[in-house]
Amino acid sequence: MSARNANLQTLPLAGVRVIEFVHMVMGPTCGLVLADLGAEVIKVEPTPEGDNTRRLTGSGAGYWVTYNRNKKSFAVDIKTSEGMAAVRKLIETADVVTENFRPGAMEKLGLGYEQVKAIKPDIIYSSMKGFLPGPYAHRTALDEVVQMMTGLAYMTGPEGRPLRAGASVNDVMGGMFSAISILAALWQRKATGEGQFVQTGLFENSAFLVGQHMMQMATTGKPAAPMPSRLSAWAIYDVFDTCDDQQVFMGVVSDSQWLSFCQAFGFEQFGQDPLLAKNTQRVQARSTILPVVRERLAQLSKQSVMDMCEQAGLPFSPIQRPQDLFEDVHLNESGGLAHLALDNGDEVKVPMLPFEMNGQRFDARLNVPALGSHSEELLMQMGYAETDIDELRARGIVR
């Protein structure tokens, strides 16, 4: 771990114990944030196979390793009385319980909020659902579902072709908001001594994301157009082809940047034109400006365009793929990638939380856990004798 990464003694959530009953992305993301910040996050998994997320393939193949570092695995059959007794003992030691299963599932298991509160009265219980309480609360949601419901997919794709965002934006952000609500509840408990029930909705999260488009309608009286067909707020805010069959995105979003752009790329006729001095004027003249700019940039290489943008202080980016980030010079040299070891021994890199505290980043302290890798340790902490643990393991109640 590099000097810029926080050590265990300085982690802000050191001493907080979280028990999570979660799967897929939303719930694990919440636990990941808390774990990276120093909380002891214990993932309760069913025996004998564990969380189904471990075995996802295709587009879900990366979920497990991405969202489960810095956690411990407690593998137990909670459908047995002995397994449930162990889980109840574990909850007695917890500050927080999190879950993201379908409505009513935790209550059916005997682990709903009121049932857990009876075990630990000051518990903070975070429930992550598709919808907050209301007419839709009974529905099953997915990231795609709420993107379609809120217009996010409509805004992303071209007219008539709603398109899901290319990452699990609502699941990840929903987990982040859950972590925020838990931190607020922990802070409030310091003053009141009381725990509470906090809940996050995937649908409400997506509605929050499109709030800017709702307000565009409210303030202008005109509906926001989908991204591929909307009128840009700036004349230069697009992807441009270069002479080496590459592409660069460039944005010119202020009057001062416009002058820098014109000087850097030799568009003196634009920079000196008083009819293009203000952004609103340039947007109206976009159809005149863009063909000239495209022709000029198409004669330059990708690297030349990026160098000129960087020297002029203009926003720009090459068009990259997710896998390109493994070798990204900034992420690597700034210490922004955590190192993890997979079950097969291979080492991989994964992005850390995107912030610093007191100049420190939050690294991987624990690898993604093997199923039941911490069961014995936790049972011994709860007072189970080795012979009792051996018997539970032999009967398949714990692993």
**Residue 225 belongs to a domain:** no
**Residue 15 belongs to a domain:** yes
**Model pLDDT for residues 53-111, shown as the tens digit of each residue:** 999 999 999 999 999 999 999 999 999 999 999 999 999 999 999 999 999 999 999 99
Q: State whether 173 and 271 are in the same domain.
A: no
Name every residue whose Cβ is closer than 8 Å to that of residue 145 and which is 6 or more positions away in sequence. 130
Q: Read out DSSP for 219-264?
A: HHSSPPPPGGGSPPSSSEEEEEE-TTS-EEEEEE-SHHHHHHHHHH
Which is nearest to 54 in space by CA: 66, 68, 64, 45?
A: 64
Q: State whether 122 and 246 are in the same domain.
A: no
Q: State whether 289 and 155 are in the same domain.
A: no
Split into its structural domains, the chain has a count of 2
Q: State whether 16 and 148 are in the same domain.
A: yes
Q: State whether 193 and 133 are in the same domain.
A: yes
Q: State whether 180 and 254 are in the same domain.
A: no
Check which CATH number belongs to the domain holding 291 and give it. Answer: 3.30.1540.10
Check which CATH number belongs to the domain holding 32 and give it. Answer: 3.40.50.10540
**Residue 297 belongs to a domain:** yes
Q: State whether 123 and 244 are in the same domain.
A: no
Q: State whether 262 and 129 are in the same domain.
A: no
Q: How many CB atoms lie within 10 A of CB 200?
A: 26
- What does each C-alpha distance from 184 to 91, 181, 317 come to in angstroms? 20, 5, 36
**Model pLDDT for residues 106-159, shown as the tens digit of each residue:** 999 999 999 999 999 999 999 999 999 999 999 999 999 999 999 999 999 999
Instruction: Write out the residue range of the structural domain in which residue 243 sits.
Output: 232-322
Q: State whether 201 and 242 are in the same domain.
A: no
**Residue 337 belongs to a domain:** no
Calculate the dihedral angle through the C-alpha atoms of 292, 294, 300, 303, rounding to the nearest 10 degrees: 130
Q: H helices within the chain, ranges in order?
A: 26-36, 63-67, 81-92, 105-109, 113-119, 143-150, 152-156, 169-192, 202-209, 211-220, 255-265, 268-271, 279-284, 286-297, 302-312, 329-333, 375-381, 386-394
pLDDT in tens, the chain (399 residues): 343 565 666 899 999 999 999 999 999 999 999 999 999 999 999 999 999 999 999 999 999 999 999 999 999 999 999 999 999 999 999 999 999 999 999 999 999 999 999 999 999 999 999 999 999 999 999 999 999 999 999 999 999 999 999 999 999 999 999 999 999 999 999 999 999 999 999 999 999 999 999 999 999 999 999 988 877 889 999 999 999 999 999 999 999 999 999 999 999 999 999 999 999 999 999 999 999 999 999 999 999 999 999 999 999 999 999 999 999 999 999 999 999 988 788 899 999 999 999 999 999 999 999 999 999 999 999 999 999 999 999 999 999
